[in-house]
Amino acid sequence: MAKMRSKGSVNNGGMFGSGIFGMVGSTVHCKAEDTSMYCTLSKMVSSIMMILFLLFVLCMIYIGYKYFRNKK
């Protein structure tokens, strides 16, 4: 049975219903035994995106730490 939505209720999916999808490791849907070029490339790009996202988060933490440390 489908859920009934109230009038005016919109669910865009994504992060907190915003419609923004993180694309952090969640876009690869290949079986482990699939060795096609698409799956291999998709897994490699997903890994690179996860590493870049991790570096971005660490950089933001470092910048915030420097900011609050120098604020004193």
Residue 13, domain member (yes or no)? no
Residue 40, domain member (yes or no)? yes
Number of domains in the chain: 1
How far is the C-alpha of 62 from the C-alpha of 60, rounded, in Å?
A: 5
Residue 21, domain member (yes or no)? no
Q: What is the 3-state secondary structure (H, E, C) of 12-58?
A: CCCHHHCCCCCCCCCCCCCCCCCCCHHHHHHHHHHHHHHHHHHHHHH
Whose tokens are 């950089």? That residue is 59
- pLDDT tens digits for 6-55? 555 555 555 555 555 555 545 567 888 888 998 888 888 888 888 999 99
pLDDT confidence of residue 1 = 45
Which residues constitute the domain of residue 70?
A: 35-72
pLDDT confidence of residue 72 = 63
Residue 43, domain member (yes or no)? yes
Residue 47, domain member (yes or no)? yes
